[in-house]
C-alpha cells in the first residue's frame, strides 16, 4: 500500500503571527515534489509544523499520514511513523559520534515498537552503516566524528542524508538542503538524495532555486506565496520561475494573497 502525506487547509502561526494560510498538498511515497517560493512565504514553517516544532502553532487544518492525524502526535511519534525532516541548519551535538547517534536512533525506534527489543546488534549495525556510507560515498572516518561539530556546510548536509538513509522513512521533507553549499557539495548531496528516493520513499524538496532541481528531478513543482500554494505544475514550472522570477507569480495572484 502506498503511503500518503496529505496536508489539508493548514494554517500555522508563529509568535501570534499567521504564516500559513490554508496549505493543501499531497505527497505520495515514490514521488518527488519541489516546493519553491520567496523568503518569508512559509516554506520552512510548513516543514517545522509537519514535524511538530513547539514554536509553530497549528490554528486550523489537518495533516493525515498513514490514516493518522499527525497533529495529534509528538515529534518522535511522527518520526517513528515514517516521516523525516532534514534541517536547513543542522545543530552540532558535541561528544556524540555520528555512529552512536544513528545507532541510538535506530534502537529508539525498535524499542518503541517492541519494548523487549534489545537493540540492533553492533556487528549488524556496523555492516549496515558501512553499506549506507558506501552508497552515499561518505568517508570512513565520518562515523567516528562528533555530529556536526566542526563540520562544513556540505558535511552537515551529508550527515543529514546519512540519517535519511539509515532511518529509511517513507516520506522525507528536505528543508533547503542546498542552503550554504558550493556547487561541488551540492552535487554530492543531490546524488545522495537521488540514491535514496524511489518506490519506497517520497520527498518534498524545499528550495529557492532551480540549481538544486538540476540534480534532483521532481515530478511535481509547487510555488508558495503568502502562506499558501498558488501554482502547481511539472518541472517546466521551475524553469519558468527561474526565467521570470517571483514577480509574475505576485502579479498573477495579487488579488488572492498578500506577499
**113 falls within a domain:** no
Cβ–Cβ < 8 Å for 205, 33: yes
* C-alpha 52, offset from chain centre: 13
* pLDDT at res. 122: 95
**37 falls within a domain:** yes
Phi and psi at residue 163, to the nearest 5°: -60, -45
**116 falls within a domain:** no
The parts of the chain modelled with pLDDT lower than 50 are 259
**119 falls within a domain:** no
Q: Is the pTM of this model over 0.85?
A: yes
For residue 126, what is its C-alpha cell? 556496523
**145 falls within a domain:** no
* pLDDT at res. 58: 97
The residue range of the domain holding 232 is 1-89+170-184+201-259
**105 falls within a domain:** no
* pLDDT at res. 259: 42
Number of domains the chain is built from: 1
* pLDDT at res. 46: 97
**97 falls within a domain:** no
- CATH code at 61? 3.40.50.300
* pLDDT at res. 1: 65
For residue 76, what is its C-alpha cell? 518522535
* Closest by Cα among 147, 140, 143, 138 to 96: 147
* pLDDT at res. 255: 67
**5 falls within a domain:** yes
Dump pLDDT digits (tens) for 93-133. Answer: 999 999 999 999 999 888 888 889 899 999 999 999 999 99
Q: Mind giving me the DSSP string for 83-96?
A: EEEE-SSPPPEEEE
Amino acid at each position: 500500500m502506498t503511503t500518503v502525506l496529505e496536508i489539508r487547509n493548514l494554517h500555522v502561526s508563529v509568535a501570534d503571527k499567521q504564516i500559513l494560510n490554508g496549505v493543501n498538498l499531497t505527497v505520495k511515497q515514490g514521488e518527488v515534489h519541489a516546493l519553491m517560493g520567496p523568503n518569508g512565504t512559509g516554506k520552512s514553517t510548513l516543514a517545522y509544523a509537519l514535524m511538530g516544532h513547539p514554536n509553530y502553532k497549528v490554528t486550523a487544518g489537518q495533516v493525515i499520514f498513514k490514516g493518522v492525524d499527525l497533529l495529534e502526535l509528538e515529534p518522535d511519534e511522527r518520526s517513528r511513523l515514517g516521516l523525516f525532516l532534514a534541517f536547513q541548519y543542522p545543530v552540532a551535538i558535541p561528544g556524540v559520534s555520528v555512529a552512536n547517534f544513528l545507532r541510538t536512533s535506530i534502537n529508539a525506534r525498535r524499542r518503541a515498537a517492541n519494548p523487549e527489543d534489545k537493540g540492533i546488534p553492533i556487528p549488524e549495525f556496523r555492516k549496515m552503516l558501512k553499506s549506507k556510507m558506501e552508497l552515499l560515498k561518505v568517508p570512513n572516518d565520518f562515523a567516528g566524528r562528533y555530529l556536526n561539530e566542526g563540520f562544513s556546510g556540505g558535511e552537515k548536509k551529508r550527515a543529514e542524508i546519512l540519517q535519511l538513509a539509515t532511518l529509511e522513512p517513507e516520506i522525507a521533507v528536505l528543508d533547503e538542503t542546498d542552503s550554504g553549499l558550493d556547487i561541488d557539495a551540492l552535487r554530492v548531496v543531490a546524488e545522495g538524495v537521488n540514491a535514496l528516493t524511489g518506490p519506497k520513499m517520497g520527498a518534498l524538496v524545499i528550495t529557492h532555486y532551480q540549481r538544486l532541481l538540476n540534480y534532483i528531478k521532481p515530478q511535481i513543482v509547487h510555488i508558495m506565496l503568502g502562506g499558501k500554494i498558488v501554482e502547481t505544475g511539472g518541472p517546466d514550472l521551475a524553469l519558468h520561475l527561474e526565467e521570470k522570477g517571483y514577480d509574475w507569480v505576485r502579479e498573477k495572484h495579487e488579488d488572492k494573497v498578500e506577499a
